[in-house]
Amino acid sequence: MDSATDPEHSRTRNGKLIRRFDLAATAVFAIEGAAIGGGAHLDLFGVVVLGCVTAMGGGILRDLLIGAVPPAALTDKLYIPLAVIVSLITFAFHHPVGQIPIWLLTGLDAAGLGLFCASGSVKALDHGLIPVSAAFLGTLTAVGGGSMSAVLIGRVPPVLRVDIYAVAALLGAAIVVTGARRKFPTAPTMLVGGGACFVLRVLSAWQHWNLPRIH
């Protein structure tokens, strides 16, 4: 069988892409989580915990649901050190981070959403989930960590209150799943899906787009 069409070869190649996207998102979300912890006046340990939960919570939840256990974040030698180190650096520079413009923090958040919705969708497909479920898992990967960290500090998770948030992740995940079903190259498909999530999230924050609410 040709290696290009060998399912095992494809899964191995996808695994490398997923890891790269996951690690990039882990770093981005660790900054965001640690910054939120600093803003909530947590101590060093609390900031690191919040940074790690934000960075790895969604990916761990995804892996548990698809049966990829132990989760990659707990077995790979880079995930936890990366999240801890980035959180510590954020804590050390808490005051400069606190002065970062809101649009830049929104951009970091949007980047994390885009990266995780793409990697989550592909990993779910590689584990045999149907397209709808894979898109759902991609969305859950993107919003899970932020939701967990919000609960830890007694806030309503952003997925339930912030502009277009989960919808942006769902759009990106749907694009990735559609591209995979049509046999498009995986890396460009992940970039397009993640990019679409990023653009929609940033635009919605900029233009204050919201889903209908009960008043």
Q: Would you state the pLDDT for residue 112?
A: 96
Break the chain into its structural domains and give their ranges: 7-207
Which residue reads 């919003």 in tokens? 143
Q: Would you state the pLDDT for residue 213?
A: 67
Determine the distance from the C-alpha atom of residue 76 to the mean position of all C-alpha atoms in its chain, rounded to a whole number.
17
Q: Would you state the pLDDT for residue 215?
A: 60
Q: Would you state the pLDDT for residue 66?
A: 96
Among 96, 112, 94, 100, CA closest to 202: 112
Q: Considering the entire predicted model, what is its pTM?
A: 0.90
How distant, in Å, are the alpha carbons of 180, 189, 195 from that of 2?
Answer: 19, 22, 31
Q: What is the dihedral of CA 76, 82, 85, 86, to 10 degrees?
A: -160
Q: Would you state the pLDDT for residue 96?
A: 66
Q: Would you state the pLDDT for residue 3?
A: 41
Q: Would you state the pLDDT for residue 208?
A: 82
pLDDT in tens, the chain (215 residues): 444 445 565 566 789 999 999 999 999 999 999 988 888 889 999 999 999 999 999 999 999 999 999 999 999 999 999 999 999 999 988 766 666 677 788 898 999 999 999 999 999 999 999 999 999 999 999 999 999 999 999 998 888 876 689 999 999 999 999 999 999 999 999 999 999 999 999 999 888 887 776 66
- Residues 6 or more apart in contact with residue 50 via CB below 8 angstroms: 33, 34, 36, 37, 40, 42, 87, 149, 152, 153
Look at the chain and count its residues. Answer: 215
